[in-house]
Amino acid sequence: MQNQNTVVMTADSRMAALKQRATQQQGEVWQPVAGDTLVGMIIGSEATHHPLYGQQRLMLVQNESGAIIKVWLSKWLVDNLKAQDAQQHDLIALTFGGKHKNAQGREYNAYNLIVDKG
């Protein structure tokens, strides 16, 4: 026999998951120019399909005004988030340094990342 509290907790967790999915569908993808800084709280991530690169992930950041901003998770950004042990609800400052070229002449996006663990 199922306990009534179990049913309520299950419904609550389902509603929370639905709310998170709805939140993730909102927001705009960050399109910075050199020198732009995004400051906000990491609230999650979502999978998406990029027309050139296939399956990709976006980090969801809630900025100071409450808007949800989506940031493409490049290898550099993933590595640096891990190196600074960034977790959901941590604050970040992500500055776009512009387009740079590596030793092979291939263009990449340069960033600076600061994680505030609070």
Element (H, E) at 38: strand 37-50
Q: Is 107 among the domain residues?
A: yes
Containing domain of residue 95, as a range?
27-116
Write the CATH number for 47: 2.40.50
Residues composing the chain: 118
Longest dimension (CA), the chain: 66
Q: Is 22 among the domain residues?
A: no
Encode pLDDT of 84-103 as tens digits.
999 999 999 999 999 999 99
Q: Is 1 among the domain residues?
A: no
What residues pair up with 62 in beta bridges, in sequence order? 41, 68
- The CA distance from 95 to 6, in Å, is 45
Q: Is 35 among the domain residues?
A: yes
pTM of the shown model = 0.74
Element (H, E) at 82: helix 75-83
Q: Is 59 among the domain residues?
A: yes
Encode pLDDT of 61-85 as tens digits.
999 999 999 999 999 999 999 999 9
Q: Does residue 115 sit in helix, strand or coil?
A: strand
Encode pLDDT of 7-44 as tens digits.
566 777 777 766 666 655 578 999 999 999 999 999 99
